[in-house]
């Protein structure tokens, strides 16, 4: 019989995880970002590693990373895109837990901008990393994305599953207190083509991460 303690379901699997809110530079001392702390992505990297995977964590968070997890620190959405894109083909699983900024300033000032009475910034749209990897995905690869929503969670998450060609969308209601961004627990809903939406009740992000890994193991088996 297989000894459960020795069973590493993701052994020899290359798992790429992204985490954190990207920072988009305005000038040498300023940036725009979002409320993501990176906790969910870092918990996912840990869970994948505990399950035997060869893990690369691409993160814009400054949270610590346990040894044996290869870490690539990035700042902007562009840097994250490059780091993911160059490693995607040689990975079996990509988990996009990062809160990638949708926009970045049209121009980055090389000098600190001086204050004025009014100031206007213009933004350009960033590349959608998950969507691009969804287009490039082979049938042997598993793609997991997140959906951060404040309303119409079912409608928007289903749309993301389809439009990004993901295998699993983990949706969280960021309008609710004490879950989602920047806290230690989360309550999510899994959207996939295999099952009806599945509610994962409020629990520690570490446990949610294990649930996501279990889903991936079942999917890739
Ligand atoms: N994502 C990405 N690249 C982007 C924006 C988002 O890879 N430029 C990924 C996120 O990492 C997440 C998923 O897409 O896994 C959904 O992100 P979300 O912000 O919820 O959705 P968007 O597609 O950006 O749409 P919107 O913000 O309008 O809801
Ligand atoms: Ca977005």
Taking only the tens place, the pLDDT of each residue in 98-120 is 999 999 999 999 999 999 999 99
pLDDT at 183 (0 to 100) = 80
Calpha distance 86→211 (Å, rounded): 28
Looking at every residue in the chain, the average pLDDT score rounds to: 94
Active site residue 126: no
Pocket of ligand 1 (CB under 6 A): 77, 96, 98, 100, 102, 126-130, 145-148, 160
Return the ligand number nearest the Cα of 174. Answer: 1
Ligand 1 atom nearest 163 alpha carbon: 23
pLDDT of amino acid 103? 98
- Banded pLDDT at 5 (limits 50, 70, 90): low
Which residue of the set 34, 68, 165, 182 is catalytic?
A: 34
Six-digit token string for 163: 């439009």
Give the chain's count of helices (H) and strands (E): 5, 12
**Quick one: pLDDT at residue 3?**
56
Q: What is the mean pLDDT of residues 138-164?
A: 97
Ligand 1 atom showing the smallest separation from residue 133 Cα? 7
For residue range 16-30, what is the model confidence (pLDDT) as tens digits? 999 999 999 999 999
Q: 66 alpha carbon to ligand 1 midpoint, in Å?
A: 26
What pLDDT is attached to residue 81? Answer: 98
pLDDT tens digits for range 62-98: 999 988 999 999 999 999 999 999 999 999 999 999 9
Over range 33-51, report the average pLDDT. 96
Please name which of 34, 170, 151, 23 lies closest in space to residue 97, comparing C-alpha atoms: 170
Closest-CA residue to 217 (of 13, 1, 4)? 13
Of all residues in the chain, the percent with pLDDT exceeding 70 is 96
- Does residue 1 have a pLDDT over 60? no
How many residues make up the chain in this entry? 221
Ligand 1 center to residue 5 CA distance, Å? 36
Distance in angstroms (rounded) separating the CA atoms of residues 39 and 177: 16
Average pLDDT over residues 194-199: 95
Domains of the chain by range and CATH? 10-107+122-220 (3.40.50.10300)
């Amino acid at each position: 019989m297989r000894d459960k303690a020795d069973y590493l379901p993701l052994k020899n699997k290359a798992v790429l995880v992204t985490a954190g809110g990207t920072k988009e530079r305005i000038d040498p001392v300023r940036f725009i970002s979002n409320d993501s702390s990176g906790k969910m992505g870092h918990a996912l990297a840990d869970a994948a590693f505990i399950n035997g995977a060869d893990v690369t964590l691409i993160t814009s968070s400054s949270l610590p990373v346990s040894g044996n997890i290869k870490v690539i620190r990035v700042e902007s959405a562009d840097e994250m895109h490059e780091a993911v894109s160059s490693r995607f083909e040689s990975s079996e699983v990509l988990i996009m837990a990062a809160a990638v900024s949708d926009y970045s300033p049209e121009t980055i000032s090389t000098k600190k901008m001086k204050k004025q009475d009014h100031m206007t910034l213009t933004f350009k749209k960033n590349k959608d990393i998950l969507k691009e990897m969804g287009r490039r995905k082979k049938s042997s690869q598993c793609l997991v994305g997140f959906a951060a929503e404040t309303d119409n969670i079912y409608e928007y998450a289903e749309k993301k599953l389809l439009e990004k060609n993901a295998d699993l969308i983990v949706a969280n209601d960021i309008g609710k207190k004490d879950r989602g961004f920047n806290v230690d627990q989360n309550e999510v809903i899994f959207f996939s083509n295999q099952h009806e939406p599945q509610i994962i009740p409020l629990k520690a992000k570490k446990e949610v991460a294990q649930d996501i890994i279990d889903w991936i193991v079942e999917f890739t088996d």
